[in-house]
Chains A and B, each alone.
Chain A
Amino acid sequence: MCLAVPGKIIERSEFQGTVDMQGNRLDINLMLTPEAAVGEWVLVHAGHAITTIEEAEALKTWEYIKEAFGDDILDTPGSDVADGSRT
């Protein structure tokens, strides 16, 4: 699924980092977004941040994801939207 989901960077080293996704912590790869800093929002797909986005856009995207896929998507371990296990 070519849908990337927003996460807020809470830690980053050179290529690795951790994002907060609605309270869930996810380790991701930041190789494709060298400019992304702690505190910024990124779109995450298949375990990789693909771009930085403004907070307002990130929050709007989460609203849409919850509306389209339901709140329970966030509570499901291995949820394909939350963790990007879809193509």
Chain B
Amino acid sequence: MSRTIDELRADLTARCARIDRTIKIMEVCGTHTVSIFRSGLRSMLPENLRLISGPGCPVCVTAQRHIDAAIELATHENLILATYGDMMRVPGKLGSLEGLRAGGADIRVVNSTQTAVDLAKSNPTRPVVFLAVGFETTTPATAAAVIAAEREGVENFSVLMCHKLVVPAMLALLQAGDVPLDGFLCPGHVSVIIGAAAYKPVVEQHKKACVVAGFEATQMMQGLTHLVAQVDEGRADLENVYKAVVNDAGNTVAQELMDKVFVPADTPWRALGTIPMSGLELAPAYSRFDAVGRFGLTFGEDEDNPACRCGEVIQGKTEPADCSLFDNGCTPLTPIGPCMVSTEGTCAAWYKYHRVRPSTTGVTA
């Protein structure tokens, strides 16, 4: 019989009380970040358990130079840019895709890569570029689109590859060593694709606890309880408490498809710099579908607002409220940094659920 959330909380609280220091757990996935806030879980946690939001929001970690490249593409005569909806408001050097669309650029929000391929089929005289953003949950869909374009001879279709890999980012954070962590709450649906065993290098090379968990409150509490139990018992193991959905090997069909279409490549992350082999590019057999080569794109350096601390936020080095722009010019309606753009960005989640509002008595709550 699985334990109730109250039983898990009691176990967690008892274990934290025995540990005479702050325990730092990073939730890697942006969906966990939002779900933890929405469920009210944070308020149920002991004071010495600190949750740090990691670099798991795809919008937030997309390098500014990639946004700028997408914006440049969208200004090409006759071109259709297809994108997932949450990329529309991310600010680049010259504005956002939303602003560009308001000015007449043909930018289409799609809910499936298939729709982007279909757009190319129904507009054979126009180039269609898909802005391929996201972690491994999303990446197989891009591979499927490239395969479909090849199979159906849709040569006016191409992709701007901005995909990121979760595990190399976790390893890079640990190698940098400036965010002391006890363990990771590992993403639920990324793990459907990569499998729970993918986190073995984190456990084996860095002796950090890893627990794969779902997004429902009890599932997340179970994940945290297992992580704290490991800290309490001096262990660093890989555990999966989301076995109804995630297995060890992952979706091997999706993995084979990704291996066929993509090869690992160095890629820039917003504020983290370039992380070796943390991204993907098209394999030589499919390189003609690469928008970078097709349109001769070049990438400049990122020029983030110097006051914006999104880079530190996604590394868990600072909390949103410590940024001078937070709720002071940077809000979900007027985002300056990418962590405020996406609903699962750490700053947007803090703004919505955790913002300290001045009270009418002059005492902050």
Contact = CB atoms under 8 A, between A and B. Distances in A.
Interface in B25-73: 29-31, 34-35, 38-39, 56, 58-59
Interface in B178-200: 187-190, 192-193
B120 to A, nearest CB: 15
B251 A32 contact: yes
Given A2-B31, A32-B253, A50-B254, A45 B141 contact: yes
A46 B138 contact: yes
Nearest to B252: A32
A3 B190 CA distance: 9
Contacts of A83: 111
Interface in B118-168: 133-135, 137-138, 140-141, 144, 147
A87 B115 CA distance: 15
Contacts of A57: 244-245
Given A48-B144, A85-B111, A68 B86 contact: no
B215 interface: yes
A34 B254 CA distance: 11
A43 B111 CA distance: 15
Interface residues of B, number: 49
Select the residue from B112, B187, B189 with max chain A CB neighbours within 10 A: B112
Interface residues of A, number: 34
A8 B109 CA distance: 25
A50 B247 CA distance: 13
Contact of A32 (B85, B109, B133, B144): B144
